[in-house]
Amino acid sequence: AQTVTQSQPEMSVQEAETVTLSCTYDTSESDYYLFWYKQPPSRQMILVIRQEAYKQQNATENRFSVNFQKAAKSFSLKISDSQLGDAAMYFCAYKVTSGSRLTFGEGTQLTVNP
Amino acid sequence: NAGVTQTPKFRVLKTGQSMTLLCAQDMNHEYMYWYRQDPGMGLRLIHYSVGEGTTAKGEVPDGYNVSRLKKQNFLLGLESAAPSQTSVYFCASSRGQSPGSPLHFGNGTRLTVT
């Protein structure tokens, strides 16, 4: 079975600084996708960024980028120039390309200090 | 465009009572999912459906039943609620199983079982 682990229950960062959230996963599959979702206090789940396992290039979306290390099964999220609106719970998630199920990690609560 | 709508938003049940959570999507999506979110455990898949008239078990199906009689609706039922089912429940939908089809989430239902 696939598992996703986020070892940092809580993280904090100063506004305008950079923070990295960690995620590791375990799988025997070779073709899969990885995601980061953001959940603000409104409870809405928002897709932040997506990485295809067969692509070596790390995905980037504006201030959000990932460090994907396939051999180490690591998928960290870097938030640059942190803003107060980035404060949220962040979930790492995994999906086999041929499957229909998304598996989530435990979540990391990010606090942004002014 | 409403997207994914969950009703109710909040509910308090007594142990042994039953209830049904309704999820409706107006995007003509084939796939629909029910997740529960608990502190420190992320989102866990309860049941899902890959099309009208189909349902399948996820990671934590015990104590829940689902039905997908209409393509746009996915119902989650609790026949005899237990305190362990206190959680926030999320419905999601997607156009297909490809990771290129992102999940669209509802805003969640907070259920408390006393």
Q: What angle do CA B111, A39, B105 make, to 5 degrees?
A: 65
Q: What is the mean pLDDT of each run of 10 residues along chain B (114 residues)?
A: 90 97 95 94 94 94 97 96 97 80 91 97
A11 strand-pairing partners:
A110
Q: Give the A window 87-106 contacts with B, CB below 8 Å.
A: 91, 95, 97-106
Q: pLDDT at position B96, please?
A: 76
Q: pLDDT at position B95, please?
A: 86
DSSP 3-state helix, strand, coil percentages of chain A (rounded to 5)?
5, 55, 45
Q: pLDDT at position B102, please?
A: 81
Q: Among A15-19, A26-30, B85-89, B107-111, which stretch is predicted with the lowest mean pLDDT?
A: A26-30
Interface test with A, best of B55, B101, B105 (most A CBs within 10 A): B105
Whether the Cβ atoms of residue A19 and residue A13 lie closer than 8 Å to each other: yes
What's the per-residue H, E or C state across B14-41? CCCCCEEEEEEECCCCCEEEEEEEECCC
B88 vs A contacts (CB less than 8 Å) = 43
Residue A41: half-sphere exposure toward Cβ, Cα within 13 Å? 4
